[in-house]
Structure 1
């Protein structure tokens, strides 16, 4: 799990076993204009680490199936001018519900959130999220159906964003949310 905070890139490895693992880190300098084209972005391997886990303290479950890339709001701020007001880190601990708030520094005409959970059909989670844009404020309200680990993908679109004559939503950021006491 890769996240960025205060200019520091952090990698959290959820080791599934005690076998040695290879962490291969890819990077590229990408602007928001690259994302808006809808074209694939090429990354280069910049370094590799061998990860050795002698013992497991807990069984790690796979992360929820979200869009690829970094976790947390740094990408939203860097590329789309969407600044976190309520949650600045990639991991959120929540109860039965939570509200995630942002302030827009660039005009966005649409923000959409999609909730994911392992072994749960995404269609069953569609009604758990609602997004409200009011002035320069964005609020995402989430009601979790039960306790567990969730991934939240956030997509956005600017007013003038046309790709091949169509208006596409672009992945903006994602969070890992642990819901407890539901």
Structure 2
């Protein structure tokens, strides 16, 4: 979307079977075995990128229509209606399924994530900025900053539990509760206008949560509440799960993460990016190439200690921010593993370095300290996990006790879907954040 319209454009979609080619689907062409086809589409908006990730339930021919509308400012956005116009239409021919997916939880129709709350109601998320997030601990706490005093309601859904089918973008205050609604409550800070949803999930699995809001100034208790936004929550008690889906029935995780890896580099891309452009021989950053140079004596040169902390200008430019560990100096006691969570709001290339510097015994020896520095093969000790939307986790497993520096490099992707090259034909990936990690 153009920057001038990305805060005002709303989208919707309609997925159906092609009746002309699927005679068996003459009725209920929007359904598959009693499930609406829209539950096989993950529609999200992230900054200026609108995506529709489609996992068809069976082979066949389909049509998907995309609708859009400009949302005009309204003093009473709750209950506001607007007309959407069809902006494009695609025919999808699916001859073979690579994997079968569970449908998304039965929530209100439309987009996932908090963008709708921002666009329509000026309600801004404080804790969860993407449509999908993983959690290993309970309760789940979701917070929003509101423009004024508002009333809220939440509905929790899961394919594991029977729920009331709700395809509408409003809910009556007297509507029958689902089995799972008792696991959600909210608190409202009337002084700061902050609403906090507290979610206790009964079992592991995938859940969808609908959040509704009402303005008491315009809507009485008897009026329906307007749908504000919805999230997908993937809950597992263990954090040591392989994020790569298998070939069986799968739940929706993250679609913006390309798992192609080469020499410690991975890429966050949008659905519009074709991963075919990844060329391993071109994926080395300039810092990687220079680290392999030798001095005039044929020896590997000493590795200087990098600057600890973040480059605030580049972090802002790339839409990056540390979430789990804001302090760049970390001490690990009796464990060699750590997960560093970053928020990444734009499409970026990134790479990383892991350098082993010294241990306490090294410091007491006569060996010059600079000769003890060792650049490790980072891909042996660092893995990258998607964490919903454009959040990413760098998971480190350090090989031995000592002092390490872990540096993250990043560069934005240009319109040709690659990073800018310098005069030597090398990719420029400047350092954006460096951690000093002491494993004792």
TM-score range, shorter chain: 0.7 to 0.9
Q: Pick from 183, 189, 212 the counterpart of residue 128 of structure 1.
A: 183
Q: What CA distance in whole angstroms lies between the structure 1 residues aligned with 2:193 and 2:149?
A: 9
Q: What CA distance in whole angstroms lies between the structure 1 residues aligned with 2:185 and 2:149?
A: 16
Secondary structure of the corresponding residue to residue 36 of structure 1: coil
Matches within 5 A, 1:151-162: 151-162=208-219
Match of 2:229 in 1: 173
Q: Give structure 2 stretches of 5+ with no counterpart.
A: 1-41, 164-177, 239-440
Q: State the 1:55 CA deviation.
A: 4.0
Q: Pick from 34, 41, 50 the counterpart of residue 91 of structure 2.
A: 50
Q: Check conservation: 2:77, 2:121, Cα contact below 8 A.
A: no
Match of 2:46 in 1: 5
CA RMSD between the two structures = 2.4
Q: What CA distance in whole angstroms lies between the structure 1 residues aligned with 2:132 and 2:93?
A: 24
Q: What CA distance in whole angstroms lies between the structure 2 residues aligned with 1:84 and 1:47?
A: 30
Q: What CA distance in whole angstroms lies between the structure 1 residues aligned with 2:56 and 2:67?
A: 19
Query: 1:93-129 CA deviation, whole Å, 9 max, x = no partner?
Result: 122531111112x113212111011252342201111
1:83 to 2:124 alignment: yes
Aligned length: 179
Q: What CA distance in whole angstroms lies between the structure 1 residues aligned with 2:120 and 2:80?
A: 15
Q: What CA distance in whole angstroms lies between the structure 2 residues aligned with 1:31 and 1:138?
A: 25
Q: What CA distance in whole angstroms lies between the structure 1 residues aligned with 2:70 and 2:143?
A: 27
Q: Check conservation: 1:76, 1:172, Cα contact below 8 A.
A: yes
Match of 2:133 in 1: 92
Q: State the 1:14 CA deviation.
A: 1.9
Q: Give structure 1 stretches of 5+ with no counterpart.
A: none
